Amino acid sequence: MAALGWLTPRRRSATARSVLAGEAAAEAARKTSADDDSALLTGTSGEAPEEPAFPVAGDDRAAAFFDLDNTVMQGAAIFHFGRGLYKRKFFERRELTRFAWQQAWFRLAGVEDPEHMQDARDSALSIVKGHRVSELMSIGEEIYDEYMADRIWPGTRALAQAHLDAGQKVWLVTAAPVETATIIARRLGLTGALGTVAESVDGVYTGRLVGEPLHGPAKAEAVRALAAAEGLDLDRCAAYSDSHNDIPMLSLVGHPYAINPDTKLRKHARARDWRLRDYRTGRKAAKVGIPAAAGVGALAGGTAAAVALHRRRR
């Protein structure tokens, strides 16, 4: 299984590895997509956002593509998954402290730092190497209930429901492992997920990726490949993300939305009159808070250091 691993420069075009990662994600998504009968959401809490004029009911050539981290869910899925694996003794306390520090940095700084993401990817690949895919899928179901279920943004979930109610397919598109993303999509009643594909042989992870992490240009390639396979018209599709790194994906569709946008994406969206939604409250630095990694005393010191560093850089 792969981790976030956001390594691509922010403004480069797709490479052969991006295309490979995108095509692998599209193929995996179509194989593991949820049944049409499961595309119903229940128990949405909080106030639903104002109903948009889009989507158009009955347009089966339209679909919606949602980024996961900080768009659909608070924080990064791979870090929550790492906490669950630590609880099950897949790795040591020191490695969990590193996961917690990376999560704190991600949520304080609000940026996807290549060095931190490289470390997260390498950590996750080494942890799951030699384990069976079926084992990680089963554990992933438990981890979703423990760490992820209560981190879903109700507003974004309502937007996804609007597309489902209109009879359209809804896909997650994320650099998180495709297995983790597929679990989240299924539990939310979505169609399926495009995610980073880790190589497996005879159902066992090898510790290598197929292509590269599904990030930046690779996300756009995955959406493009899936749209071609599904017979979708991208001009009639929608995409949702919080990050300027997803501008290539957002620019592909006729209906781009900036959700809980970072500063660069907000500026880009306003310049192009894209729709914006922000479900966070309070001061920007505290909008999504700092997660507490249970059982890790060292997190307090790491979080304090992150806060201090963040303040010095403001």
pLDDT tens digit sequence for 268-291: 999 999 999 999 875 443 333 333
Q: pLDDT at position 87, please?
A: 86
Mean pLDDT (the chain, rounded)? 75
Q: Which of 48-57, 129-138, 201-210, 246-255 has the lowest mean pLDDT?
A: 48-57
Please state, in angstroms and rounded to a whole number, the distance separating the CA atoms of residues 44 and 100. Answer: 29
Say if residue 143's pLDDT is above 50: yes
With pLDDT > 70 as the criterion, what percentage of the chain qualifies? 62
Confidence at 150, pLDDT banded by 50, 70, 90: very high
Per-residue pLDDT tens digits for 91-116: 766 665 665 665 555 555 545 555 55
Confidence at 129, pLDDT banded by 50, 70, 90: confident
One-character DSSP codes across 133-158 = HHHHHHHHHHHIIIIIGGGB-HHHHH
Residue 258, phi then psi, degrees to nearest 5: -100, 115
Question: Across-strand partners of 30?
Answer: none
Active-site annotation holder among 59, 67, 119, 235: 67
Three-class SS state of 291: coil
Please state, in angstroms and rounded to a whole number, the distance separating the CA atoms of residues 310 and 298. Answer: 19
Say if residue 293's pLDDT is above 60: no
Report angle CA 297, 306, 103 to the nearest 5 degrees: 70
Higher pLDDT, 45 or 295: 45
Active-site annotation holder among 35, 59, 69, 273: 69
Q: Do 217 and 18 contact (CB within 8 A), yes or no?
A: yes
Catalytic (active site) residue 67: yes
Per-residue pLDDT tens digits for 35-59: 444 333 333 344 544 544 578 888 9
Residue among 128, 215, 208, 137 nearest 174 (CA): 215
Q: Do 255 and 239 contact (CB within 8 A), yes or no?
A: yes
Give me the residue label for tokens 């080494």: 126
Q: Do 77 and 176 contact (CB within 8 A), yes or no?
A: yes
Amino acid (1-letter code) at residue 259: I
Q: Which of 76-80, 92-96, 200-204 has the lowest mean pLDDT?
A: 92-96
Please state, in angstroms and rounded to a whole number, the distance separating the CA atoms of residues 172 and 300. Answer: 32
Sequence-distant (6+) residues with CB within 8 A of 269 are 256, 258, 261, 275, 276
